[in-house]
Amino acid sequence: MARIAAVRPNTLSEDTQAILKAGEAFMGFMPNDALVMAHLPGMLPAFLKLVEAIYGSGTLDPGFKRLIGMIASSAAGCSYCEAHTAFAAHRTEVDEDKIAAIWDYETSPLFDDAERCALRVAQRAALVPNAVEDHHFEALADHFTEAQQTEIVAVIALFGFLNRWNSTLQTELEALPAALREKLSQASDHEEIR
C-alpha cells in the first residue's frame, strides 16, 4: 500500500495538469509517482525538465537508455521502476526477449560488448556502496564517447532518485507496466524480474 496518496489531477492547477499530461504522453499511462510528486508544486516542473534533458538529448538509443534504467532499478531493488523501465523499453521497441534476459546480459547473445559494459556500470552503480571501479570506466571508454558516458551516468543517477522515491513511498504500480511485468516474469527463469 502506498505510503502517501496520489493527488487527484482535477484538484491541481492547469499548469500542473499540463505537466502531468506530458508525463502521461511520455510514459503511455499516468504515472502514480508523478501524482505523489504533485504534493510539492515546484517538484513536477523541475523533474520534467530533468527527464527531458536526460531522455530528450544525446546520442544513445532511447530503448538502450531504458535498459540502463531497468538494470539499475532492478539492482537497487525498486520493482516499481524496474516495471516502468521494462514497459518503456517495450514502448521503444526493445524486443521482449531482450527485456526478459536483462539479468543474462553478461552471457546472452542478445547483448553486445558495448551494452554489457554500460549495463555492468549501471548494475554496479546502483549498489550501496557504489561498486563502479576505474576498470569499468576504462572498458566503457572503449565503446562510448565521454558525452555518451555522461548520458549513461545521467540515466543511472535519475533512477537513483526514482528508486529511492518509489521504494520509500511504496508507490502503487499502474496496470500497464504491471501486466508487462507479469508477462516477462512468466517468460523468465530469473527471480530478479519481479
Alpha helices in the chain (DSSP H): 14-27, 32-37, 43-55, 62-76, 79-91, 96-100, 113-125, 134-141, 146-169, 175-187
Per the model's pLDDT, the better-predicted residue between 185 and 105 turns out to be: 105
For residue 37 the three cell numbers come to: 510528486
94, 40: one domain = no
What range defines the domain where residue 31 resides?
A: 9-55
Q: Under DSSP, is residue 102 helix (H, G, I), strand (E, B) or coil?
A: helix
**Residue 154, domain CATH:** 1.20.1290.10
29, 97: one domain = no
- Does a structural domain hold residue 135? yes
Q: What percent of the chain has pLDDT above 90?
A: 91
Q: What is the number of structural domains in the chain?
A: 2
Could you give phi then psi for residue 101, rounded to 5 degrees? -95, 15
How does DSSP classify residue 93?
T
The pLDDT confidence band at residue 191, using thresholds 50, 70 and 90, is very low
How many angstroms separate the CA atoms of 130 and 24, rounded?
A: 32
93, 171: one domain = yes
Statement: residue 60 has pLDDT above 90:
yes
**pTM given for the model:** 0.92
